[in-house]
Structure 1
Amino acid sequence: MVRTASTMLALGVSAPDFQLVDVVSGATISLATFTGKPALLVMFISVHCPFVKHVQTQLAQIGKDYSAQGLAMVAVSPNDIEKYPDDAPEHLAALAHAEGFNFPVCADASQAVAKMYTAACTPDFFLFDGDRHLAYRGQLDDSRPSNGKPVTGQDLRHAIEFLLAGKEVDANQRPSIGCNIKWIPGNEPEYFTGIRAEE
């Protein structure tokens, strides 16, 4: 595991479209799936990553807390499942069932979607407005597996609440920190350096 920071994609960019299969329902998921929703949260996750394990119950709770207000969510797992079989689709489905996720969970076998979003770590969060322009990218909150701080989802929740209220999200955002994405050998994107992150 390499402790890695998110790339902090430029705010305002349009959400890249994709087509991935939900490991639970078998449905094909794309941006069109969420048409009409005032906000969309795209998350890059992993079953085996301790940083994701640390926050996965909070991710489920965010889905429950904001779905009635129109927040759409989708989780994407981009890791190389040949070397990390714990991230295979059946294990993603088991995680979704265990945590009660009310949003699609998709396997990005080619890692193409992770590259389009410049995802670098798990977890990595990208929150888009109703026009699918990037309003927030960064950490869930200040909690990490070893720092003793409670998992509240504070940073991401504030961004979601501002967006759903039609307010501008504060551009002062801190990067997410997590495990580096496990790229298929030879498939590493140019933006990914695997540099150990400092906080």
Structure 2
Amino acid sequence: MAVSPPVCDFGWKAPDFTLPGTDDRNWSLGDVAGPNGTLIMFICNHCPYVQSVIDRIVRDAKALQALGIGVAAISSNDPVAYPQDGFDAMKAEAVKHGFTFPYLFDESQFVAKVYDAICTPDFFGFNAALELQYRGRLDASGRQAAGPDVKRELFEAMKQVAETGKGPVDQVASMGCSIKWKAA
């Protein structure tokens, strides 16, 4: 079932974390943060919403990194119920798509909970002070990618954050598969 996160809570401070990456190193928020902002993305390997736009995510992440935006992706899905989202599969996914950003494993699901991540993909765009400025979608894509000329909403919003420290007032929430929580 598709779900959408809430509207952007402007100014909300990014919670710190330290998580293992597919590059076999541990990454903290401070390691990921860029001088002009930070983008934290909750994604996973199996979600059709993510898979339909993974090449666009990689393209926009690389372009944002060139603007001084730090980027990281986090997978928080239960790897027991969804083995295709396990750590070894994440490593393969990062290589397959040429990730230029750390792909982090939130096995305990603690980080997803403190960020209040709802779906994959779920984008959190912060300014240089790590204050939330964007909680919108990548673009108008859904389970299938939108046309090639679709407006790059995430990229444009984060470019604005890099230049001004503020995100756009009008944002359209992302939509995707729910985070696959572990059984209680």
Q: TM-score range by the shorter chain?
A: over 0.9
CA distance in 1, matches of 2:146, 2:21: 32
Query: Structure 1: which 5+ runs fail to align?
Result: 187-199
TM-score normalised by the chain length of structure 2 = 0.93
- Code of the residue aligned with 1:76 in structure 2: it is I
**Secondary structure, aligned partner of 1:97:** helix
Q: 2:7 corresponds to which residue?
A: 8
Q: Is the 8 A contact 2:33 2:69 kept in 1?
A: no
Could you report, residue by residue, the CA deviation over 1:37-78 in whole angstroms, capped at 9, with x for unpaired residues? 211000000100000001111111112212222111000001
| Per-residue deviation, 1:157 | 1.1
- Out of 92, 101, 108, which is 1:94 matched to? 92
CA distance in 1, matches of 2:35, 2:166: 17
CA distance in 2, matches of 1:8, 1:93: 31
**Secondary structure, aligned partner of 2:153:** helix
- Code of the residue aligned with 2:15 in structure 1: it is P
- Code of the residue aligned with 2:127 in structure 1: it is D
| Per-residue deviation, 1:168 | 2.9
CA distance in 2, matches of 1:16, 1:32: 10
Q: Is the 8 A contact 1:17 1:31 kept in 2?
A: yes
Tell me whether 1:22 sits opposite 2:31 in the alignment.
Answer: no
Q: 2:147 corresponds to which residue?
A: 150
| Per-residue deviation, 1:167 | 5.4
TM-score normalised by the chain length of structure 1 = 0.87
Q: 1:189 corresponds to which residue?
A: none
CA distance in 1, matches of 2:132, 2:39: 10
Could you report, residue by residue, the CA deviation over 1:119-174 in whole angstroms, capped at 9, with x for unpaired residues? 0100000000000000100111111124x622656110111111111253212111
- Code of the residue aligned with 2:27 in structure 1: it is I
**Secondary structure, aligned partner of 2:56:** helix
Task: Flag as ranges the 4+ runs of structure 1 deviating above 6 A.
Answer: none
Q: Is the 8 A contact 1:9 1:118 kept in 2?
A: no
Query: Structure 2: which 5+ runs fail to align?
Result: none
- Superposition CA RMSD, Å: 1.5
